[in-house]
Chains A and B, each alone.
Chain A
C-alpha cells in the first residue's frame, strides 16, 4: 500500500473539486472493494476522497419513478418496502450479493463500480492488461473458470462480477451523475464498456464524475421481475451465472421483456434477441426452454469457463419458469 492522504467531504461539489483537479484522487464509499484494491497494490491513488458524508442515502418515490441515493447501503435498499414490492429483481439481487456484513457497509454507487474478480487482475504479480495495459492477459489460457464467455477480446476476458447492475439493466434504470461539467444521466446498460483493446477503461465515467443516484422509471417498476443467481456455495460468492428478468405480462402473454445476465459477460449483459423472442408470446415451459437455448448465442468459452454456456442457458430458462410460476 502506497502512502496516501485522506479527506472526507460533505457535498458533491467538494467531492468533484477534489477528484477533478487533484491528480490521482479517488472516491471511497463503503470501501469494501477499494480497501482490497489498495491492500493488494492494484490501485494506488494519492488521495482518497471519502463521500460517505454526502447525504444521498435514501430511497424515495416520485410519480414517475424511484430514486435510490448512491450512498444508500445495499442492506437498506434490499430491505426497503418499495424496492421489495415494485422491483423485486433489485431487492433479490442485493440479498444475493456478498454477506450481511458487507451489505451493511457497501453502497449501491460503489457496487456498480466494483472491479472484476478475475484472479489475475487481483494478483499484482501476474500480467494483466486491465491492471497494467499492454502486459498481456493471463486469463486467456489460465485459471479462467470465473471469466466471461460473452463480450471478451484477445486482450481481456474478465467478467463483470456485480449483481445489482444486472438487475438494474432489467428495469431500464439510469444513473444520475454529477461531474466537472455538470449533471447528466447514463443508462445503467451503457455505463460499462467492452474491453476491446482498452480493458483498463471500464466505464464511460470521466475523472471527477460522481454517481449521485439511481433512477428506476415507474413503467419498469410495473413489470413482474425476478433475479436468479447460481453459484458453487449457497451464499457469499459472486455468480457463476445469473439472470435478471422483468416481464410486462397480460394474462400469460408477454407484452414487454427485459433479460439481463451476470457472471458471464465482460459487462452486465442484456439479451435483446431473447427479449425479442419472448414478446407477444405466451409464457410456458416451451418458451422458457427456447429462450434459454439461445441465451448463450455468440458465447466464446475459453477452457475452464466452457460450462457457463450450458449453465447460462439453464439459468435463463429457470428464471423464466420461476417468474411464470412454472418451476
Chain B
C-alpha cells in the first residue's frame, strides 16, 4: 500500500504545465495549424481624427497572393447588437470601436482596412500598397485637466463615482497643523506581454470557431455573438494557453472581429496576429493619470483630512474608467475624506485594465503622499501607517473579512532590516552610491464571481476537471489541480485539469485576482458533488464493502474510499470496476453569498525597497524589494511567490522606466516597440522576495484564499519612489523616475 498522501494544497508544487511550455508543446492562439488558413495584415490610420476621404486599394488587390482587401467601402455591415449589461472589463458607456463600418477616424492607429493573402509576407506587402486619404479634423491629443468631465452614470454605478465626501475634508485640511499637497503623474503604460494578441477564425457554415488569446472565453463568445448578431451557441472559443496578458486580453478587441469578418468574406480560415507596434493601438493600456493628493494630520500623525483628485484619459468613443480613488477612501482611517474623479477625452484608442488597474495608480500617489506626510511630521513611515490603521472598510462601513496588515508591516520590516534605516535623507551610502530605503502599503480588493466546473472520475483511478477558465501565467492549471487532488483524495499526477474552451462549464473572467476564490471553489464543489454521487451508488450497492453507508460515513483519501473511523481503503479503480462504471461525473457551481454584503474583503501587503542612486549620473538601480503579504490561505507558495516577485518586476518598470512617449502633433505613441519602450531586463533585477503571513479567510470563501496577482504590483512603485527620496532628498512626483530628473 502506498504511503498516505499529504495534502497538496499548501505545497510549493511546480507548474503542471511547465514541461509543455518549456518544450514548446503548449499551443498558443496563433500556433493552431488550420488547413487552408490565410493570413491578414491590417492597414492603420495615420491621422488622429477625421474621416477617410478615399481609399485606393487597386495595387493591393493586384498584389500576388491577395484574396481580399476589406475596407469600410466593401465590408459587410455588422449588427453590433448592444448588450443589456456590459461586462465590467469593458468600458461602461459608449460603443466599442466598430471595424470597417464607416469612414470615421477616432485615433491614429485605427484599423481602416485588412488585406487577406496566402502568406503573411504577401498580406503585409499588399497592406503597404493601400493608399488612404483623410479629411482631417482638429484632434484632441493633449491631456488637458480643464477638459475633464464627470464619469457617466454607468461608471458611477460601477463604483467609479465623480465625487465622494465623508465629513468635511476641505475644512479639516485647512485647519490641519501638518499638511502636504502635491500633484503626481503616472504616464500611459502598455502591457507588452510577450505573446502578441492573435486570433484565428474559422467558419463551418454558420458555426464560428475562434482560436484566440483571451482571459475570458465566455465573454469573447458573447461579444462576437453580439457583433455578428448570431447565437452564442453558434460560436466556440478555444484558448488553452495565454502568453501573459496583464489585463490586455480581458475584453474582446476589434481584431477578433476583423478575423471573423475576414474569414467570412474569403470563406477560408483567417489568422490575424498583431505586430508589436500594433499592440500599442489595437489593444488597451494603463491610462495617463494625474492626481492631486492633499493630506492633513495632527502633530501626532493622526490623519484628519484626505483629499484625492484624479484625471485620467479616455477615448472619444468609449468611457473606460478605473477605481483609482478607492485607495484614498479606504486604506487608512480618517474622518474627513473627499475624492473627485474626472475623465479627459482624447483622440486615442481606449485604455483598459492593466495589472492592479486603478488601485496601483491610486496607491502610487497616495502612498507617495503618505511618505511626504511622514517626512513633514518627522515620523517613521510605518508608525504613521499604524497610527491610522483602518480597522474597518470605512468607505463601505463594513468589517474586513480578514486583515493581517499589522503583521505584514512587522514581518516585512524585520526581514528587510528597516531598523537599520537612518531617517535622514542622503545619509546612507555604499560603493559610492546613495542608498535609500522606502516602504509603502499594498492593498487590492478581493472579489469572487459565480463559477462552475465539471469533475470526472474514471475507472482507471484518474480524474479530469474542466472549466472555461484561463491561465495567463499565474498558475491556474497548477492550483486547480491541487485543489481537485485534495478534494478527491487523489495524488496530483492522477488529476488532469483543462481550461480555456467555451464547450466547458462557464467561468468568470480571469482577472481582478478572482480566479482562485471563484473557480477554485467551483472545482471543489464539483469534486464534492462527484463524491456525493459516488457515495450514494456505493452505499446502495448491497454486495459492496460500503453497503448501507452514506456520504457522512465515508472519507476519501489515498486514491479511494475509507469508512470514517477506520477500515480498509478501497481504491477508486476497484469501486468503479465493481459497479461496472467507466466514469462518474460531478458538476459544481459556486458564487459569493451574503458575506459580500456584510463584509469587505481585501488582500494586503507591506512593501520595502532599497535603491542605489548614482549621485552624479542620476541612475537608479533597485537593490532589493521585500514584501510581506496577507493573501489568505496560500494554495501554492511557489506560484504565489512568483506572482509577487513578478509584480515587483512590473513595478520596477512603473517606478523607473515605463512610459509611452506620446507625440501630440500626431496623436501617436512614438516608442511603440520593445527596444525603446523600456521594461526591466534581467540585469535590473537583484534581490526580490515575498513572505506570506499566517492568514485564512473562510468568511470570504470556503477555500480561505483571497487573491494575489494584482496585489503584487501594488505599493511597489511608491516604495521605490520613497526610497529614491530617502537616498537623494529629491521627491520625484512625475513617474517614471529617469536619470534626467535626478541630475
Measured CB to CB, the residues of A under 8 A from B are: 1-3, 40-41, 99, 117, 119-120, 122-123, 125-126, 138, 141-143, 145-146, 230-237, 240, 304, 307, 310-311, 314-315, 317-318, 327
Contact = CB atoms under 8 A, between A and B. Distances in A.
Nearest to A98: B675
Contacts of A145: 661, 740
Contacts of A317: 616
Given A123-B277, A234-B621, 20 more contacts: A41-B128, A117-B675, A138-B666, A142-B665, A143-B663, A143-B671, A145-B661, A145-B740, A146-B676, A230-B619, A230-B739, A232-B657, A233-B681, A233-B683, A234-B684, A235-B683, A307-B743, A310-B743, A311-B739, A311-B740
Contact of A232 (B661, B668, B738): B738
A2 B738 contact: no
Interface centre among B108, B277, B663, B684 (most CB of A within 10 A): B663
B617 A143 contact: no
B673 A318 contact: no
B743 A125 contact: no
Nearest to A315: B617
A269 B125 CA distance: 38
26 contacts: A41-B128, A117-B676, A119-B671, A122-B673, A122-B676, A123-B668, A123-B672, A125-B46, A126-B668, A138-B665, A141-B665, A142-B663, A143-B671, A145-B661, A230-B617, A232-B739, A234-B681, A235-B681, A235-B683, A236-B683, A237-B678, A307-B739, A314-B616, A314-B743, A317-B616, A318-B617
B668 A311 contact: no
Contacts of A235: 681, 683-684
Contacts of B277: 40, 123
B41 to A, nearest CB: 10
Interface in B628-664: 656-657, 661-663
A123 B668 CA distance: 10
B71 to A, nearest CB: 18
Contact of A311 (B618, B657, B675): B618
B124 interface: yes
B670 interface: yes
Nearest to A310: B743
Contacts of A314: 616-617, 743
A233 to B, nearest CB: 5
Contact of A236 (B662, B665, B666, B681): B681
A152 B139 CA distance: 31
A230 B618 CA distance: 9
Contact of B666 (A2, A41, A122, A126): A126
A234 B683 contact: yes
Contact of B125 (A3, A99, A234, A236): A3
Contact of A2 (B125, B657, B670, B683): B125
B571 interface: no
Given A142-B663, A240-B739, A310-B743, A125 B668 contact: yes
B31 interface: no
B534 to A, nearest CB: 53
Contacts of B661: 119, 143, 145
Contacts of B656: 232-233
B391 interface: no
A282 to B, nearest CB: 22
Interface string B711-743: 000000000000000000000000000111001
B670 A143 contact: yes
B700 to A, nearest CB: 39
A264 to B, nearest CB: 14
Contacts of A117: 675-676
A240 B614 CA distance: 15
A233 B678 contact: yes
Given A119-B671, A143-B671, A311-B617, A233 B684 contact: yes
B694 interface: no
Contacts of A236: 681, 683
Contacts of B657: 232-233
B432 interface: yes
B670 to A, nearest CB: 4
B678 A232 contact: yes
Nearest to A231: B619
Contact of B616 (A232, A237, A304, A318): A318
Contacts of A3: 64, 121, 125
B461 interface: no
Nearest to B276: A39
Contacts of B505: none
Contacts of B683: 233-236
A327 B738 CA distance: 23
A3 B738 CA distance: 41
Nearest to A126: B666
Interface centre among B121, B124, B738, B743 (most CB of A within 10 A): B743
A2 B129 CA distance: 10
B592 interface: no
B10 interface: no
Contact of A233 (B618, B670, B680): B680
B451 to A, nearest CB: 40
Interface string B115-146: 00000010011001000000000000000000
Contacts of B743: 307, 310-311, 314
A268 to B, nearest CB: 20
B432 A327 contact: yes
A126 B108 CA distance: 11
Interface in B197-246: none
Contacts of A233: 656-657, 678, 680-681, 683-684
A321 to B, nearest CB: 10
B124 A1 contact: yes
Contacts of A119: 661, 670-671, 676
Interface in B387-424: none
B620 to A, nearest CB: 9
Contact of B121 (A1, A125, A310, A327): A1
B686 to A, nearest CB: 10
Contacts of A126: 663, 666, 668, 670
Nearest to A99: B681
Interface centre among A2, A233, A317 (most CB of B within 10 A): A233
A310 B742 CA distance: 11
A2 B738 CA distance: 38
Contacts of B616: 314, 317-318
A1 B681 CA distance: 29
A2 B657 CA distance: 34
A307 B662 CA distance: 19
Interface centre among A120, A234, A307, A311 (most CB of B within 10 A): A234
B125 A1 contact: yes
A32 to B, nearest CB: 11
Nearest to B662: A143
Contacts of A311: 617-618, 739-740, 743
B619 A232 contact: yes
Contacts of B662: 143
B141 to A, nearest CB: 12
B132 to A, nearest CB: 11
Contacts of B676: 117, 119, 122, 146
Interface string B606-618: 0000000000111
Which 7 A-B pairs rank lowest in CB-CB distance, beginning with the nearest? A307-B740, A234-B683, A119-B670, A143-B661, A235-B683, A125-B46, A314-B616
Given A1-B124, A232-B738, A232-B739, A142 B670 contact: yes
A145 to B, nearest CB: 7
A105 to B, nearest CB: 15
Given A230-B619, A314-B617, A120 B739 contact: no
B103 to A, nearest CB: 19
Contacts of B125: 1-3
Nearest to B743: A310
Nearest to B666: A126
A125 B672 CA distance: 12
Nearest to A306: B740
